[in-house]
Every structure is written in C-alpha cells, then in structure tokens.
C-alpha cells in the first residue's frame, strides 16, 4: 500500500512507543516506523510481551502492527525513508563533567542528530519529543545545518505531556498538544505538518502553537508546577503530624477552591518518575546559567522538599520501631514510582530501600509489575533484598509493612490474614494513605499514616 507520509520515531521507550502506536492507529494513511538501538526491546515490541506495561497499549499495537506500525533496529533505512522524524531517545541527568546531577545528558540526542545528517537523502522535519533543556533545538540545528548535502532540516518542538499508566488515555484525549516552531515560512509549514497529525483526532482548540523556546520551556514549567504541588502538600503533611490537623481534610478544603483545583494534592512518600526531578534540575541549571540564583533556589527547593519527605518516612519507621530496624523484616508494598506502571525510574522506593539497608533492616519487596526493574535498580545490593510477587507471602513473619505505591490491589488485601502471619507488634506505615487506618488499628496493627494522627497500641 502507498502511504501518504512516512513517520519515523527514533527511540522506542515509554514516550516513543505509546505515542507512535496511537499516531499509527489514528492516521492509517501514514506509515509509522519506530526504531531503537536496543535489539532486545525491539524484539519485545514485535512480540506479545511488550517492553512496557501501559493499560490499553496492547490493543492499539495489535491493531496496527504489521499494517502501518513497524518496530525495527534499521535506523539508517528509517531515516532515509522518513518525511518526519520524531526523536524520543533518553536524556538522563548528567552523571559526569560540567552540570553533573543537574543538566541533561544530551549525548544520545546529539548522536541521533549526526545519524540523521549522515543518512538523510532529502529535506526532513525533525521533532523534539524527549524532554529537553530549553534551547536544545538551537544546538541541534547547528549540527543538522552543518551538512554539505544541501538538505534542509526544520526542527519542531512537540513536548510530551503523557503520564505513565494513563498514556493511551492521555494521548487519545489530551488536554492540549503543543507544537513550537520558528516563525519563519519553513518553520510554520513544519509546524502545520505536525499539527495535521494530531488533527486526526483532536479539535483545533486543543492544539497550541508557539515559538520554539516557549514550547520547550512550557514542558519544563508544567512539570515543575505539578511537582511543586506535591512538595507543597508533602511539606504540610509533616506539619499535620505535629498537630491535630489532618492532611486529607486539608487537601479537600484547599482543593475545593476552583482557582487551586483538587488534582495532585495527594501526599506521598515523595514523587518519582523520569520527568519531574530531571525537568526541575534542568530549570534550575538554566536559571543559574543566566545568574538568576533566586529563581534557581526557588525551584530547587521543590526537590529538596521531596528528599526531605523520603528521608522523614524512613526516620519515622526507625523511630517508631523502638529506634532500631536492624535485622527486622520490613516489607515494601510497591516499588513502582506510582500505580499502574512497572517503571521505577526515580521511584522513592529506591532511596527508601537504600536507607533501610543502611539501618541493617531486611527488606522484602513486592510489586505486581515492577520487580524486574527493582532487581536492576538494586543490583548492587544482591543478597540483602528479597523479591516476592505475592504480598501475603512477602508479609509472612515481617515486622512492618510500608506502603510505597498506591496499587489498588493493596487496598483489597485481607489484612486480618496478613496480621495473623506477621511478627508482633505489627506496624504499618502508609506512605500513600490508601488503607483504612481505623480498621487496621482494630485488627491490632500500629498504624502510621502520612499527615494524620498515628494509631498505636503503645500508649
């Protein structure tokens, strides 16, 4: 079949995979190729066991794969064939050199830009999809323009706003899609090309076009604002524990103000995920590089508060368990950075586990989706951590349960049965406030919610 356009996506990860699957489903007249350097991952994309767990993704992939959606490692061929190239390779925070721990490591992006220049055989529109620091497009344009083939590469920014666990829903029913481009004739034409993709299923008012830099910065700012809400409510949860105030009541009362809104006000052991910390650090780094130290400090505090919350959670566990957890069995219910995903990137569970191990606790981890990733995250702690998919078995003869991820199934467990199999006194630290604390207390648990009065049998 003749396709109207060839779309290539470089990077078959959490962003590239689901986004391209939805584009393929909604634009049957476009051919969508997704390529990756990781052969194993591509094999998985071509199998029944997709490399990422995302509700609704299997159905979309099954509908389009082999028809107009293809996964391969043929990057060079893909570049040659493509009219539009989405780049969604990873951009982790730098672990070396200038900007360590702050700036994004752009080596994968840069390599991709060089590959595009080398293998292109005509003009192309290049779409920044990965989260990138502001002005990356400019840097990339320098590489792309430094070609002696006479081809034109127009860079467009189309940041991703999907959240894991709801990626397919977020893509199908987006609040907005952002397309940033140069305000030149060529820039605007390239933006229209991208807008036309999304117009297949979104109305015009959902598609925002801006200049390139606004688009890049909007992505960082949106994530910084979301993370800031969580740090704000988490800071208040600490205050609630010192007073008689209840964080659930406060979240409700504050969120009822329509100017504030009620979303993203759930206290937690801390936010995780691949975006929030990285994006804020990028914002901080950019602000500092322009000597805007007050701006940088302001946003950095969001991350510091998140670290404080994780630290505080472990300190409370140790304190309440008679100031020592050495050789005590502590079960983490959940390791994913949030429910409905197997992703563990920047999960608070990682720091919490490490801190508990420093305290010489025996850590048992259970999670319905994230145990493989947990094993990789904790590979340096082999032998010190036990992994058990069944939460009942995980809690057998344990001293304490710490709820880390708000999986729905943890709300539905038989806690009477769990209590009977645990050591006494039995503790529950609910780092997500998802359980019925009164009921647990009646069963016999000593219960420590976030931002609420603790229910202990010791007094």
Binding mask 263-302 for ligand UDX (x = CB under 6 A): -xxx-x--xxx-xx--------------------------
308 binds ligand UDX, rule: CB under 6 A: no
Residues that are catalytic: 275
Pick 351 or 399: Cβ nearer ligand UDX: 351
For ligand ADP (CB under 6 A), the number of binding residues is 21
Pick 167 or 394: Cβ nearer ligand ADP: 167
Binding mask 169-208 for ligand ADP (x = CB under 6 A): ----------------------------------------
For ligand UDX (CB under 6 A), the number of binding residues is 19
CA distance 402 to 330: 7
CA distance 117 to 259: 47
344 binds ligand UDX, rule: CB under 6 A: no
Pick 33 or 88: Cβ nearer ligand UDX: 88
Residues 114-143 binding ligand ADP (CB under 6 A) are 130
210 binds ligand ADP, rule: CB under 6 A: no
CA distance 123 to 125: 7
344 binds ligand ADP, rule: CB under 6 A: no
31 binds ligand ADP, rule: CB under 6 A: no
Return the ∠ at Cα 39 (arms to 33 and 42), rounded to 5°. 40
Q: Which of 4, 43, 67, 111 binds ligand ADP (CB under 6 A)?
A: 111
Pick 38 or 454: Cβ nearer ligand ADP: 38
11 binds ligand ADP, rule: CB under 6 A: yes
18 binds ligand UDX, rule: CB under 6 A: no
CA distance 258 to 440: 34
Pick 41 or 278: Cβ nearer ligand UDX: 278
320 binds ligand UDX, rule: CB under 6 A: no
443 binds ligand ADP, rule: CB under 6 A: no
88 binds ligand ADP, rule: CB under 6 A: yes
223 binds ligand ADP, rule: CB under 6 A: no
Q: Largest alpha-carbon pair distance within the chain?
A: 79
Residue 218 C-beta: closest distance to ligand UDX, Å: 11
221 binds ligand UDX, rule: CB under 6 A: no
223 binds ligand UDX, rule: CB under 6 A: yes
Residue 199: phi, psi to the nearest 5?
-65, -15
Pick 91 or 446: Cβ nearer ligand UDX: 91
Residues 149-168 binding ligand UDX (CB under 6 A) are 160-164
Residue with smallest beta-carbon separation from ligand ADP: 13
Residue indicated by tokens 């767990």: 53
Residues 236-265 binding ligand UDX (CB under 6 A) are 264-265
Query: Per residue, what are the HEC states of the chain?
Result: CCCCEEEEEECCCCCHHHHHHHHHHHCCCEEEEEECCCHHHHHHHCCCCCCCCCCCHHHHHHHHECCCEEEECCHHHHHHHCCEEEECCCCCECCCCCCCCCCECCHHHHHHHHHHHHHCCCCEEEEECCCCCCCHHHHHHHHHHCCCCCCCEEEEECCCCCCCCCHHHHHHCCCCEEEEECCCHHHHHHHHHHHHHHCCCCCHHHEEEEEHHHHHHHHHHHHHHHHHHHHHHHHHHHHHHHCCCCHHHHHHHHHCCCCCCCCCCCCCCCCCCCCHHHHHHHHHHHHHHCCCHHHHHHHHHHHHHHHHHHHHHHHHHHHHCCCCCCCCEEEEECCCCCCCCCCCCCCHHHHHHHHHHHCCCEEEEECCCCHHHHHHHCHHHCCCEEECCCHHHHHCCCCEEEECCCCHHHCCCCHHHHHHHCCCCCEEEECCCCCCHHHHHHHCCEEEECCCCCECCCC
Residue 13 C-beta: closest distance to ligand UDX, Å: 12
217 binds ligand UDX, rule: CB under 6 A: no
Q: Which of 5, 6, 37, 172 binds ligand ADP (CB under 6 A)?
A: 37
The entry of ligand ADP, ligand UDX, none near residue 38 (CB within 5 to 8 angstroms by kind) is ligand ADP
Pick 33 or 347: Cβ nearer ligand UDX: 347
Pick 329 or 345: Cβ nearer ligand UDX: 345
Q: Which of 228, 231, 251, 274 binds ligand ADP (CB under 6 A)?
A: 274
Contacts of 156 (CB under 8 A, 6+ apart): 125, 126, 127, 128, 179, 180, 181, 187, 190, 191, 193, 194, 212
Pick 224 or 418: Cβ nearer ligand UDX: 224
Binding site for ligand ADP (CB under 6 A): 10-16, 35-38, 41, 75, 88-90, 108, 111-112, 130, 274
Q: Which residues bind ligand UDX (CB under 6 A)?
A: 160-164, 223, 226, 230, 264-266, 268, 271-273, 275-276, 337-338
């Amino acid at each position: 079949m003749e396709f109207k356009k060839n779309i290539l996506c470089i990077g078959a990860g959490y962003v590239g995979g689901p986004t391209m699957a939805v584009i393929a489903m909604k634009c049957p007249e476009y051919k969508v190729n997704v390529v990756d350097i990781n052969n194993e991952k591509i094999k998985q994309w071509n199998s029944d066991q997709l490399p990422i767990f995302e509700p609704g993704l299997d159905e979309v992939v099954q509908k389009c794969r082999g028809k107009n959606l293809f996964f391969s490692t043929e990057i060079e061929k893909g570049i040659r064939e493509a009219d539009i190239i989405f780049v969604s390779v990873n951009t982790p925070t730098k672990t070396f050199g200038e900007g360590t721990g702050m700036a994004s490591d752009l080596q994968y992006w840069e390599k991709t830009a060089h590959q595009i220049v080398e293998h292109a055989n005509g003009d192309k529109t290049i779409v920044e999809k990965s989260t990138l620091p502001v002005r990356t497009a400019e840097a990339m344009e320098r590489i792309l323009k430094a070609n002696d083939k006479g081809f034109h590469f127009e860079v467009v920014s189309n940041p991703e706003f999907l959240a894991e666990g709801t990626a397919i829903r977020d893509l199908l029913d987006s609040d907005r899609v952002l397309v940033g481009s140069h305000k030149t004739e060529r820039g605007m034409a390239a933006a229209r090309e991208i807008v036309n993709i999304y117009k297949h299923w979104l109305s015009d008012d959902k598609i925002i076009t801006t200049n390139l830099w606004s688009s890049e910065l909007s992505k960082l700012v949106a994530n910084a604002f979301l993370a800031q809400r969580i740090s704000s409510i988490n800071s208040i949860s600490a205050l609630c524990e010192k007073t008689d105030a209840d964080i659930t009541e406060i979240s409700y009362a504050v969120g009822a103000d329509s100017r504030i809104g009620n979303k993203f006000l759930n206290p937690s052991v801390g936010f995780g995920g691949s975006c929030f910390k990285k994006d804020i650090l990028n914002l901080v780094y950019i602000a500092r590089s322009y000597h805007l130290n007050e701006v940088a400090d302001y946003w950095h505090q969001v991350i510091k508060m998140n670290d404080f919350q994780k630290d505080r959670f472990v300190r409370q566990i140790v304190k309440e368990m008679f100031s020592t957890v050495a050789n005590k069995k502590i079960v983490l219910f959940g390791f994913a950075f949030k429910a409905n995903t197997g992703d563990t990137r920047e999960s608070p569970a990682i720091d919490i586990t490490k801190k508990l191990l420093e305290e010489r606790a025996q850590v048992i981890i259970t999670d319905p989706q994230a145990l493989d990733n947990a094993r990789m995250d904790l590979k340096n702690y082999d032998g010190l951590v036990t992994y058990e998919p069944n939460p009942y078995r995980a809690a057998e003869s344990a001293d304490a349960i710490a709820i880390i991820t708000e999986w729905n199934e943890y709300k539905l467990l038989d806690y009477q049965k769990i209590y009977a199999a645990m050591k006494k006194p039995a503790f529950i630290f609910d780092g997500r406030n998802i359980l019925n604390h009164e009921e647990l207390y009646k069963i016999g648990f000593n219960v420590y919610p976030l931002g609420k009065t603790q229910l202990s049998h010791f007094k």
